[in-house]
Structure 1
Amino acid sequence: MAQIDGFFKLMNDEGASDLHMVANQQPVLRIRGDMERVKFKKLGNDELRAMLYEICPEEKIKLFEETGDIDFGYEIPGLARYRCNYFQQKYGVGAVFREIPSEIKTCAELGLPDIICRLAHLPKGLVLITGPTGSGKSTTLAAIIDEANKVRKDHILTIEDPIEFVHRSQRCVVNHREVGTHTDSFATALRGALREDPDIIMVGELRDLETIKLAMEAAMTGHLVFGTLHTINAMKTVDRIIEIFPASEQGQVRSTLADSLRAVVSQTLFKRTDVKGRCAALEILIATPAVRNLIREAKTFQIISSMQTGKKFGMRTLDDSIMTLLEKKMISAEDAYSNAGDKSKFVKFLRKPPSDFTEM
C-alpha cells in the first residue's frame, strides 16, 4: 500500500471530489465545492515528491522532470480510480487528484432527463458535453456510454488523457486508449480509429483544430462521436468550434458542423442547500432542422430562442434549469445569480445586492 493511499481513503470517506497536495502546505480536500484543509502536517518538498513518485509510472516521472507537468491514471482496487496531475510550481512540486468512482452511475441515478439517456441510442452524429472544469462532464458522459454498452451491440472506442471511467464490455465491445500510453495524441488516435471498426467513439477532450476536424469527419462518415469541451453554454460551444478554424474555412465548417451535430449538453454544478451534495443545471440543445439552419447561416445568437421554443424536443436553457433548481429550494439564490446568463431574472431572489460590481 502506497503512503498516499491513506489520503485517497480519507478523500473517499469525506465525499471529496479533489485532493490538492502542494510542497510546504497541508493537504487540502475539495468537498462539495469548498476547499477544506486536512488536519495533517505540512509536507516538505522532498517528502511530497517521494510520496508522489511512489505511485507514478517510471516513464511519467522522466517526462515530469523534463516538462514540469504530467497527467496519468491511478487505481485502488475496490475504492476508486484517480486522475492525477503533477506540476512544478514556485515552492516545489504540486499535485491534484480527481476521484473517479469505480461504479458508473446511470442517467436515472444522476437525475438526468430522459433526453440525455436517449443520446446513447443515436445511430450517428456528433454529441458534445460541455461545461467548466469540475462540472461533471465525465460523469454525464460515462452514464451515456454505459447506457449504450447495455443496450447496443456495437464497438465502443474511448480515447482519453488519462483513462477515467472504465467500462467493462457488456453487450458492446469496449476498448480504452490512453493518450501518451497507447497513442501519441487525440488526433493520431482518431485517425487510427476509423480503421478499427468503431460504431461509437468517445473523445475525452476536443483540444485543437485537428482533433475537432477529425471528430466531425468521423461523425459525417456514419459514426456516433461523443466529445467534451470547456465552454459554458451551447451557443458558445458552436462558436468555439467554428472560430478555431481559419476564416477562409469557416463557411465550410459551419456546413459540416450543421450536418454532423446532434446535441450539445452544457452543465454547471451547484452546491445543494436542501441536502448534502451537489446537483447539475443543464442546458440542452438538440440539432433540429431549424437549429442547423441557424448554424449554416451564422446566426448562432438566435440559438437561445430555438431552445426556448423547443421544449417539446427536450431542449432547455441553462437559466431555465437554474430557475427550476432555485424554485425547488435545491440551490441558493446567490449561486443561481452568479452562474446565470441573464442575471436580471435572479436579482429579486437576492437578500443583498450583488457582490460582483462588474455585474451591477
Structure 2
Amino acid sequence: MFMNIEEIMEECVKCNASDILLVPGSPVSFQVNGFLRTYIEFIPDDEVAALVKEVYRKASRDVENLMSGKKDDDFIVQLNEKVRFRVNAFRTLGNPAAVLRCVQDNMLETISQSIPEKIIKYSELSSGLILISGSPGSGKTTTAAAMLEHNNRNHKKHIITLEDPVEYRMKADKCVISQRDIYTDVADYETAIASCLRERPNIIFIGELRGQKATEAALKAAESGMLVIATLHTKGATDTLSRILQNFPANHAESVSMQLANTLRVIIYQKLIDRIGEHGTVVFETVENITAISNLIRDRKIRQLKNVQHSNPDLLPCSMEAKLLYAYRDGKFSREVVTEYADPEYRSWSETQMKVIDMLRNSGKADEYRIGQA
C-alpha cells in the first residue's frame, strides 16, 4: 500500500483540506478551498479499496454494511482527540469508494469569525424556523454550529442537535446539550424531532430537513415555541421554499403554506466564491420573513420572491447580488465572478450596477456607491 489512511488524514489536516476523495480509477485527491488537489496520482483500484476498508476498521465498523447493502454508509472516524472525519462511503461499479470530510473542533472558533454577527445573532430568536441553504460543502453545518456555540457561551438554554452523523461535538458551557446521531441514537429524523417536543429544548438543530414527516414535525416544533435551525441542500430562498412545499401533496399546500408563513424567521443562503487572489470565500444572503415575504408564502407565489427582494429597500441590501456588487466595489470580486453568481434574471441589472461603480471609482468615489444606485 502506498500510504496508510492515517498518514493521508494527517496530510489532509496539514494542507487545510476540507475533504479526502477515495474513488477507484481516480487519483487520491484533497478538496482545498473548493478546488481538487491531487495527492496520489497513480493508485490501483485494489489499493483504493484497501484504503476504504482501512477507514472502516479504524471506525470499528464492518465494511459489509456497504458491500452487502444498496445504500451509502455515513459514519464518523476519529483521527485524534481534536480531529475526526465525516465519512460518506458508497459503491461505484461495484467497488468501494468514500469521501471523508475533515472536522476540527478547534477550527470552529476561527471559522466563526468570518460569519457575519447578524447571522450569529439570529440564533438568539426565541422561536420559529431558521433555514440555512446552500450546496454541499458550502459550510451550512459550520454556520449552524457557530450559531449554537454562540448560545452555549452566552445563554442558559437546552439545545438538541439531530444529525446523520453528528459533525461538531459540543462541550456544554452555559447550555444543556443533547446531540443525537440519527440511526444510532434514534430511528430517524421524524421520530427524533417528534421526541424533542417532549424534551423541552429551546433550540433544535436538524442536520438536513427532508421528507414530509420530518418537515411536518419541524414546523410543529417551531409553532410550539421552539427555535428550529435546519439545513437544506438548496440554491437560494426561492428554491428552499419550493423544496419544502414540494414535500407535501397538493391537498396540504394551503395549510403548510400558512404554517411556513407563520413560523419562518429567516432564510440564510451561503455560497463559496473565489475572491481575487484567494479561494473559497463564503458569501451570505439573508431573506427575513417580513410581511411582503410571508404574504408570498401564504399565497404560494414563491417564484415572485426575487422580484420582491429587489424592490424592497429592506431586503435588497441583503441579497446575493448586493453582496457581490459591494465586494466588486471593494476590489474583492472580479466582474466575471459577479456576472457568474448573480441570479440569471438580474445579471443585466448587475452589469449596469458595475458600470455605476466603475464611474464612481474613476472619480475616486467608489466608496459612495449604494446598491440600486442609478
How many angstroms apart in 2 are the aligned matches of 1:151 and 1:183? Answer: 29
How far residue 148 of structure 1 moved from its aligned partner, in angstroms, is 1.2
Equivalent position of 2:88 in the other structure: 85
Equivalent position of 2:131 in the other structure: 128
Equivalent position of 2:27 in the other structure: 26
**3-state DSSP of counterpart to 1:190:** helix
Equivalent position of 2:305 in the other structure: 303
**3-state DSSP of counterpart to 2:336:** helix
- Closer/same/farther in 2, CA of residues 216 and 237 from structure 1, 3 Å limit: same
How many angstroms apart in 1 are the aligned matches of 2:117 and 2:55? Answer: 42
Mean CA deviation greater in 98-107 or 76-85: 98-107
How far residue 327 of structure 1 moved from its aligned partner, in angstroms, is 2.7
TM-score scaled to structure 1, two decimals?
0.89
- Closer/same/farther in 2, CA of residues 315 and 245 from structure 1, 3 Å limit: farther
1:323 aligned partner, one-letter code: L
Equivalent position of 1:285 in the other structure: 287
**1:218 to 2:221 alignment:** yes
Equivalent position of 2:8 in the other structure: 7
- State whether residues 287 and 315 of structure 2, in contact with CA within 8 Å, keep that contact through their aligned partners in structure 1: no
1:9 aligned partner, one-letter code: E
- State whether residues 283 and 315 of structure 1, in contact with CA within 8 Å, keep that contact through their aligned partners in structure 2: no
Equivalent position of 2:359 in the other structure: none
Equivalent position of 2:152 in the other structure: 149
Equivalent position of 1:250 in the other structure: 253
Aligned residues: 347
1:28 aligned partner, one-letter code: S
How many angstroms apart in 2 are the aligned matches of 1:219 and 1:291? Answer: 18
How far residue 183 of structure 1 moved from its aligned partner, in angstroms, is 1.1
How many angstroms apart in 1 are the aligned matches of 2:328 and 2:266? Answer: 25
Deviations 1:194-224 (A, max 9, x none): 1122111000001211111110000000110
- State whether residues 162 and 178 of structure 1, in contact with CA within 8 Å, keep that contact through their aligned partners in structure 2: yes
**CA RMSD between the two structures:** 2.4
**3-state DSSP of counterpart to 1:188:** helix
**3-state DSSP of counterpart to 2:309:** helix
1:203 aligned partner, one-letter code: I
Equivalent position of 1:357 in the other structure: none
How far residue 115 of structure 1 moved from its aligned partner, in angstroms, is 1.9
How far residue 312 of structure 1 moved from its aligned partner, in angstroms, is 4.6
How far residue 248 of structure 1 moved from its aligned partner, in angstroms, is 0.6
How far residue 170 of structure 1 moved from its aligned partner, in angstroms, is 0.8
- Counterpart of 2:175 (choices 169, 172, 176) is 172
Deviations 1:160-188 (A, max 9, x none): 00110111111101111011211111111
- Counterpart of 1:343 (choices 340, 347, 357) is 347
- State whether residues 22 and 52 of structure 2, in contact with CA within 8 Å, keep that contact through their aligned partners in structure 1: no
**3-state DSSP of counterpart to 2:200:** coil
- Closer/same/farther in 2, CA of residues 257 and 198 from structure 1, 3 Å limit: same
Q: Aligned runs of 1:29-44 on 2, under 5 Å?
A: 29-39=30-40, 41-44=42-45
How many angstroms apart in 2 are the aligned matches of 1:174 and 1:104? Answer: 20
**1:97 to 2:77 alignment:** no
Equivalent position of 2:365 in the other structure: none
Mean CA deviation greater in 167-176 or 336-345: 336-345
Deviations 1:37-67 (A, max 9, x none): 1146504325334323322333x53421232
Deviations 1:73-130 (A, max 9, x none): 1222244221101111116211101112212535984433332121111000000000
Unpaired runs of 5+ residues, structure 2, are 356-374
Aligned sequence identity (%): 28
- State whether residues 274 and 331 of structure 1, in contact with CA within 8 Å, keep that contact through their aligned partners in structure 2: no
2:232 aligned partner, one-letter code: L
- Closer/same/farther in 2, CA of residues 129 and 315 from structure 1, 3 Å limit: farther
Deviations 1:239-285 (A, max 9, x none): 2211221111100111000111011001110123234x421121101
